[in-house]
Amino acid sequence: MKVARRVIFWLFLILLIIAMPLWLSYADFLRIKEIEVIGANTLLASDIKSLAEERLAGKYFFLFPKNNAVLYSKEDIKSSLSKEFTQIDTVELNLNSLNMLEISVEMRKPSALWCRNLDTKLCYFIDNKGLVFEEAGDFSPGVYFIYYGNIEDEVIGALYLSSEEFKNVEAFKAGVRNLSLIPQSISPLSKGSFKLSVSGGDIIFSLRDDITATLSNLASVLADSKLKVVDNQELTVSSIDLRFGNKVILKKGTE
């Protein structure tokens, strides 16, 4: 009898250990019932909420509900939102209470435009990391700097260049602006080489070269009063080619 009682006791204890977490996972006070989205417009907030609800539906291992405040997968929801909505830069999830999930998003800010070529009318916004994230409307010339080409297939979610290369392009743009020229657009030439269009002409450079040294060579050319390659913030030559070290090639419009 004692043995039987012990067996029954341990079986009861094991069942209790298994049943208690399962019961708690379905407890009403631990279920996420509301979702609040902060930082997005009304339409996007509705879409974000719908996707989050979709990720919270169903069960883990056919047993535990995914909308349990303790068990819900924060990383799964964040990853799904980032993949689905490329205009979102960052996502944060927090429980305001055991029944309410707060989703805070920060939207990507347009830094420039990306266009496939000079003839296309359809362009897209690109952020300060070089990621194309949203179709743009019509803009007057000069409102945004324009990146051309360099993306072949899927546009939304594509990077114009690798992170390091894009930083170097941005550094070169900033350096050119500091030399009192106005960058307008950039286009790829051969592999690693780009054409930066400014008022009056183009500046050709290579990402394979040291950007600081390249800018130094450009500054020397612009400062040379004998060459007179710049006048009133505009180039007086059609192009300045900086891809050959200290040997800078100037091309006049008639050449």
- Residue 167: per-residue pLDDT: 96
* 3-state SS string for the chain: CHHHHHHHHHHHHHHHHHHHHHHHHCCHHHECCEEEEECCCHHHHHHHHHHHHHHHCCEECCCEECCECCCCCHHHHHHHHHHHCCCEEEEEEEEEECCEEEEEEEECCCCEEEECCCCCCCEEEECCCCEEEEECCCCCCCCCCEEECCCCCCCCCCECCCHHHHHHHHHHHHHHHHCCCCEEEEEECCCCEEEEEECCEEEEEECCCCHHHHHHHHHHHHHCCCCCCEECCEECCCEEECCCCCCCEEECCCC
- Residue 23: per-residue pLDDT: 55
pLDDT in tens, 199-236: 999 999 999 999 999 999 999 999 998 999 999 999 99
What whole-number distance in Å separates Cα of residue 163 and Cα of residue 142?
A: 25
Domains in the chain, ordered, with CATH?
27-107 (3.10.20), 109-160 (no CATH), 164-182+201-255 (no CATH)
What does the pLDDT profile of the chain (255 residues) look like in tens digits?
Answer: 666 666 555 555 565 556 555 556 677 888 999 999 999 999 999 999 999 999 999 988 878 889 988 889 999 999 999 999 999 999 999 999 989 999 999 999 999 999 998 888 889 999 999 999 999 987 777 789 999 999 988 899 999 999 999 999 999 999 999 999 999 999 999 888 999 999 999 999 999 999 999 999 999 999 998 999 999 999 999 999 999 988 999 998 755
